[in-house]
Structure 1
Amino acid sequence: MTGRSAVQVFVEFSTPFPNFIPEHREHQAMVECKLGHKKQWAELLKFPLQLGNITSPATYIAYSNEPDAVTAKGRAAASAALYSLRSEPNPKPNPN
């Protein structure tokens, strides 16, 4: 991409398998890209994704990726919400 230009990007999120419900812990996340002149996806970067910061696991909203962004009380509430989500007889299908 040349400097001072705009690029259209299509972002796609995926999980290891359908109905994936992550654990409240740090996970390794990988960003891949598909370059225009290649057919295969290429790894761009890996980083620690702080899924312990997800305070409302049934909702797709943005969260801080700082390791200490959520208080102990917030983590306890988030763990209870995640447990409730895992206990559902028919979990909501993963949209990806």
Structure 2
Amino acid sequence: MCTYATVKTAIEGSAKGPGGRWFAVTDGVVYFDHPVHAMAEHTLNIDFTAPGDGPSARVAVELTAASARTLIAAIQAALDSAPAVLTV
């Protein structure tokens, strides 16, 4: 079953893309659906993109639901461990 559950957000950061080239990412897209490559029926898929730089300015991740939840907890723990003044 396709969920088509997609969330788009503006982001600020950098990603290492094809050929090891770093580029600024401006858009994040998160969706839960069939993966392209991961060996799972459904995955949480995250795309970090810079649309203005063309289709190659993209980094994609496909995670199982369990791995995505673990990553959420790890991100929260890392942010919580840093001094508040640095995470504004």
Fold match by TM threshold 0.5: no
TM-score, normalised to structure 2, is 0.34
More strand by percentage: 2
TM-score, normalised to structure 1, is 0.32
Larger Rg: 1
Bigger relative contact order, structure 1 or 2 (CA pairs below 8 A, ≥6 apart): 1
More helix by percentage: 2
